[in-house]
C-alpha cells in the first residue's frame, strides 16, 4: 500500500516512544547538548539581554534604528500609520531601492555592527528573494524585513517575527494610471508593489508624501483609529501557595467538613493548589509581550510570594477579605468562589483581563486582541462541545460549571450554547459583572460561599460573564493563537519543547486535573526546565536575587521598560 510522505511520517511516529520522539525533535532542532556546544556562537554583549525585556520598547528601538540608517544615508522614506505598535512599515520610493538596502546593510548588518540583525527580501507576491537575485534585479524587490534579534543570557531568543520592521519599495506612477475605484492616479503617486491590502493605505499622493517628508517622515491619520482601544486595561491574577503551613491548616480543616458524596474528587486534589512559581513566569511573559497593561492586581489568601516586589508602582496585592461582599464565608479554597468577587477590587478599571497563573504570553500582543476599539470584550470559544446532559457530581467541576451557565442562559434569555471557552486570559467588563450581580445577588452569594468546587458552582468570569455579555451585546467572538497542555501527558517534554519554539501562539496554558504522586517529580522538572528556558529574563516585578545581582554587575542601572542591550 502506497503512503504519502506525511502519512508515512505519522505511521512511524505512532510507533515511537515519547522519549524517542523527544530526542528526535531535539536533534532536528539542534537542541541536544553536544549540538549546542558545536553550534552555539558566543552571544555578543551588544544584544545579550540581562535585565528586563519589553517587546514594545524593543520594537520602538528597532524602528528608530532603521529610520536612523535611512536618514544617515539620505534615503527618502515615510513611516505609515498602523493601529498596532508592532510590525511597523516604512515606505521608500522604488527608485531608491538600492540606496535603501545599502543604508540598511551599512547601518545595521555590517560585521562590526553592535547588534544582531537579519534581513529578508520579498517580491510583490510576498515570496522570498535571495540576495543574489535581488542584486541582479533590484526592481524585483518589493520589501525588506529587518529583524533585530534580542537574545537572553541562556541563548533563548525573545524577539519574534512580529517585531520586524518592514521597508517597502513603492513605484512612482506615470500619468493616467487607473485607480481600483475607476478614477485615475495623480502623476507621481507612490503605489505599493505588494499585492495585499493589509496596510492602512495602498498609495500615497505627491502632496501627502511631501508633507510627511517635511514632518518627521511620519504620515499621520487625522485622529486615533476607530479600531484602537483607548481605555485602560488592568490585569487580575489569583494566586495560592499550597505549601504554606498556615494555609494548609485552614484548607485541611475545611476539607474535613466536605460532603464527599457531592464533590468530584479532583476538586479536593492537592495538585489543584500546587505552586511551581507559575506566577513569576507568567508575570515575565506579561512584561515581555503585554506591557500595555495599566496595573496588575494579585488576589491571595493572606499570602505574598517571597520573590514579589510589592513596592512596584504597577502592582497591588489584594486579600480575599478586601473583596468578598460577605467576609464571614471565608476562608474559601474554591477558584469559582474567589473569581466571583474580583470585580469588587478597589481601583480596578472597567476593562481587565482575568488570568490564572498557568497562562503565559508567547508573542507581542495589543489590547485589541482582547477588546474591540469600541470597548466590547472578546471571548474565545473552545472547539470542544458540551454534552447535552444536565450537570451531575460525576462531571469535572469545569464541566458542571459550564452546564450551570448554560442553564442560566436558558432561564434568563431563553437561549442556549453548545461550547465552553478556551483557558486563555479572560477579557472582563466590570459594568457587566456589576449588573449581573445586581440582577442575581443570590447566585453570586451562593458561589462565593462555596469553600471547594461544587457541581452547583458557576464559573462567573471565565464562562458566565462571556455568555451574559454576549447576550447583552457587550462581547463578541475573538480569535487567539492558543495551545493547552495537559501536564499529565506522557509526552509532556516534547509538547513543551514545541511550544517554546513556536512564534504563532499568543498564549499557552499549562494545566492538569489530577497528577499521580509518582509523576510529580518528573513533571516538576519538565515544567521548571520549560519556564527557565522560555522565560529566562526576570521581570521588574521580582525582587533582585543574588544570582541576578552578580549577573548584572557592571551593567549599570536602566529604565525598567527599556530593552537591556548591553
The pLDDT tens digits of the residues spanning 235-288 come to: 999 999 988 999 999 998 988 887 766 665 555 555 566 788 999 999 999 999
Give the rounded percent of residues in the chain with a pLDDT score beyond 90. 71
The band of 556, judged by pLDDT with boundaries at 50, 70 and 90, is: very low
CB 190 within 8 A of CB 208: no
- The verdict on residue 554 lying in a domain is no
Residue 38, domain member (yes or no): no
Query: Given strand 296-300, what is the order of strands in its sheet?
Result: 315-319, 296-300, 233-238, 351-356, 426-429
In a domain, 532, yes or no: yes
Helix (H, G, I), strand (E, B) or coil at 87: coil
Q: Considering only 97-101, 240-244, 307-311, 433-437, which range has the smallest mean pLDDT?
A: 240-244
Quote the pLDDT of residue 390: 82
Residue 474 has pLDDT above 50, yes or no: yes
Confidence of residue 10 (pLDDT cuts 50, 70, 90): confident
394 versus 243: which is more confidently predicted? Answer: 243
**Domain co-membership, 191 together with 335:** no
Within-domain flag for 225? no
> Which pLDDT belongs to residue 456?
87
| CA dist 51 → 57, 225, 482, 554, 557 (Å) | 13, 34, 28, 12, 9
pLDDT band at 493 (very low <50, low <70, confident <90, very high): very high
Report if residue 564 sits inside a domain. Answer: no
What's the whole-model pTM score? 0.89
Number of domains in the chain: 2
Higher pLDDT, 12 or 520: 520
pLDDT of the residue at 397: 81
pLDDT over 90 at 175, yes or no? yes
In a domain, residue 255? The reply is yes
Which among 156, 179, 213 is the end of a domain?
213
**Structure confidence at residue 564 (pLDDT):** 31
Query: Do 209 and 281 fall within a single domain?
Result: no
286 lies in the same domain as 377: yes
Please tell me the least confidently modeled range out of 62-76, 389-403, 407-421.
Answer: 389-403
CB atoms within 10 A of CB 114: 11
Same domain? 296 vs 168: no
Q: Are residues 269 and 147 in the same domain?
A: no
Q: What pLDDT is recorded for position 365?
A: 97
Task: Look at 40-49, 122-131, 345-354 and tell me which has the smallest mean pLDDT.
Answer: 40-49
Q: Once rounded to an integer, what is the mean pLDDT over residues 380-389?
A: 90
> Does residue 195 share a domain with residue 90?
yes
Bridge partners for 93 per DSSP: 170
Q: What is the pLDDT of residue 557?
A: 34
Shared domain for 269 and 141, answered yes or no, is: no
pLDDT band at 338 (very low <50, low <70, confident <90, very high): very high
Q: What does 248-302 look like in DSSP terms, one character per residue?
A: HHHHHHHHTTS-GGGS-GGGG-GGGG---SHHHHHHHHHHHH-TT---EEEEESS
**CB–CB of 454/263 below 8 Å?**
yes
- How far the first Cα of the chain sits from its last, in Å, is 59
552 or 307: whose pLDDT is higher? 307
Residues 6+ positions from 140 with CB-CB distance below 8 Å? 123, 129, 133, 134
Name the 3-class secondary structure at 336: helix
Minimal CA–CA distance to 451: which of 299, 239, 259?
A: 259
Whether 191 and 314 map to the same domain: the answer is no
Say what the pLDDT of residue 103 is: 96
Per-residue pLDDT for 130 more than 50? yes
Longest Cα–Cα distance of the chain, Å, equals 85
Check residue 115 and give its pLDDT. Answer: 83
Please state the rounded mean pLDDT for residues 161-188: 96
Residue 148's pLDDT is 94
Using the 3D structure, point to which of 180, 213, 246 is the last residue of a domain: 213
72, 90, 94: which is closest to 81 by C-alpha?
A: 90
How far apart (Å, rounded) are the C-alpha atoms in residues 16 and 430?
49
- Banded pLDDT at 515 (limits 50, 70, 90): confident
> Mean pLDDT over residues 510-516, rounded?
79
Contacts 24+ apart (CB under 8 A), 547-553: 551/50, 551/153, 552/50, 552/51
Place of cell 471547594: 452
pLDDT of residue 391: 75
Tell me the residue range of the domain where 325 lies. 233-545
34-43, 174-183, 328-337: segment of lowest average pLDDT: 34-43
Which DSSP category does 166 fall into? E
Domain for residue 108, yes or no? yes
**Is residue 87 predicted with pLDDT exceeding 80?**
yes
Query: Would you say residue 435 lies in a domain?
Result: yes
Give mean pLDDT, residues 345-368: 97
Same domain? 141 vs 247: no
Is the separation of the CB atoms in 47 and 149 below 8 Å? yes
Q: Are 121 and 113 a contacting pair, CB within 8 Å?
A: no
Cell of residue 240, nine digits: 495560592
Amino acid at each position: 500500500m502506497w503512503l504519502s510522505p506525511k502519512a508515512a511520517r505519522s505511521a512511524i511516529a505512532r510507533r515511537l516512544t515519547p522519549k524517542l520522539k523527544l530526542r528526535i525533535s531535539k536533534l532536528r532542532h539542534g537542541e541536544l547538548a553536544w549540538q549546542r556546544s558545536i553550534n552555539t556562537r558566543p552571544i555578543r554583549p551588544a544584544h545579550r539581554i540581562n535585565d528586563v525585556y519589553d517587546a514594545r520598547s524593543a520594537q520602538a528601538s528597532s524602528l528608530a534604528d532603521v529610520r536612523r540608517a535611512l536618514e544617515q544615508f539620505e534615503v527618502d522614506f515615510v513611516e505609515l500609520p498602523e493601529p498596532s505598535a508592532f510590525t511597523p512599515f516604512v515606505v521608500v520610493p522604488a527608485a531608491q531601492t538600492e540606496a535603501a538596502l545599502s543604508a540598511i546593510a551599512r547601518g545595521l548588518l555590517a560585521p562590526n555592527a553592535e547588534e544582531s540583525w537579519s534581513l529578508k527580501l520579498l517580491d510583490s507576491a510576498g515570496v522570498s528573494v535571495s540576495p543574489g537575485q535581488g542584486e541582479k534585479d533590484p526592481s524585483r524587490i518589493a520589501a525588506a524585513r529587518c529583524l533585530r534579534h534580542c537574545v537572553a543570557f541562556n541563548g533563548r531568543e525573545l524577539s519574534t517575527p512580529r517585531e520586524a520592521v518592514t521597508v517597502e519599495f513603492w513605484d512612482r506612477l506615470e500619468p493616467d494610471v487607473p485607480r481600483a475605484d475607476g478614477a485615475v492616479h495623480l502623476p507621481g503617486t507612490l503605489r505599493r508593489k505588494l499585492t495585499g491590502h493589509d496596510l492602512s493605505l495602498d498609495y500615497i499622493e505627491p502632496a501627502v508624501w511631501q508633507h510627511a517628508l517635511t514632518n518627521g517622515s511620519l504620515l499621520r491619520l487625522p485622529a486615533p483609529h476607530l479600531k484602537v482601544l483607548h481605555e485602560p486595561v488592568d490585569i487580575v491574577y489569583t494566586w495560592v501557595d499550597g505549601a504554606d503551613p498556615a494555609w494548609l491548616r485552614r484548607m485541611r480543616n475545611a476539607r474535613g467538613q466536605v460532603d464527599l458524596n457531592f464533590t468530584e474528587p479532583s476538586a479536593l486534589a492537592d495538585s489543584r493548589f500546587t505552586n511551581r512559581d507559575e506566577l513569576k513566569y507568567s508575570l515575565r511573559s506579561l512584561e515581555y509581550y503585554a506591557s500595555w497593561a495599566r496595573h496588575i492586581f494579585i488576589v491571595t489568601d493572606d499570602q505574598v510570594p517571597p520573590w514579589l516586589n510589592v513596592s512596584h508602582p504597577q502592582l497591588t496585592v489584594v486579600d480575599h477579605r478586601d473583596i468578598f461582599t460577605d467576609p464571614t464565608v471565608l476562608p474559601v479554597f474554591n477558584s469559582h468562589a474567589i473569581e466571583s468577587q474580583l470585580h469588587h477590587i478597589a481601583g480596578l478599571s472597567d476593562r481587565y483581563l482575568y488570568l490564572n497563573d498557568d497562562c503565559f504570553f508567547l508573542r507581542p500582543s495589543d489590547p485589541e486582541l482582547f477588546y474591540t476599539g469600541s470597548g466590547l470584550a472578546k471571548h474565545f470559544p473552545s472547539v470542544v462541545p458540551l454534552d447535552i446532559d444536565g450537570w451531575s457530581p460525576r462531571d469535572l467541576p469545569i464541566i458542571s460549571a459550564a452546564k450551570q451557565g448554560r442553564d442560566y442562559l436558558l432561564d434568563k434569555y431563553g437561549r442556549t450554547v453548545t461550547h465552553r471557552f478556551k483557558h486563555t486570559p479572560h477579557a472582563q467588563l466590570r459594568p457587566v459583572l456589576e449588573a449581573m450581580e445586581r440582577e442575581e445577588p443570590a447566585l453570586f452569594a451562593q458561589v462565593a460561599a462555596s469553600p471547594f468546587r461544587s457541581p452547583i458552582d458557576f464559573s462567573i468570569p471565565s464562562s458566565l460573564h462571556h455568555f451574559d455579555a454576549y447576550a447583552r451585546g457587550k462581547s463578541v467572538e475573538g480569535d487567539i493563537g492558543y495551545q493547552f497542555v495537559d501536564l499529565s501527558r506522557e509526552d509532556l517534554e516534547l509538547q513543551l519543547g514545541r511550544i517554546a519554539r513556536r512564534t504563532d501562539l499568543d498564549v499557552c496554558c499549562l494545566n492538569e486535573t489530577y497528577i499521580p504522586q509518582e509523576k510529580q517529580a518528573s513533571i516538576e522538572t519538565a515544567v521548571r526546565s520549560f519556564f527557565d528556558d522560555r522565560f529566562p529574563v526576570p521581570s521588574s516585578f521580582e525582587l533582585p536575587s543574588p544570582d541576578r545581582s552578580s549577573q548584572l554587575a557592571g551593567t549599570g542601572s536602566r529604565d525598567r521598560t527599556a530593552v537591556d542591550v548591553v
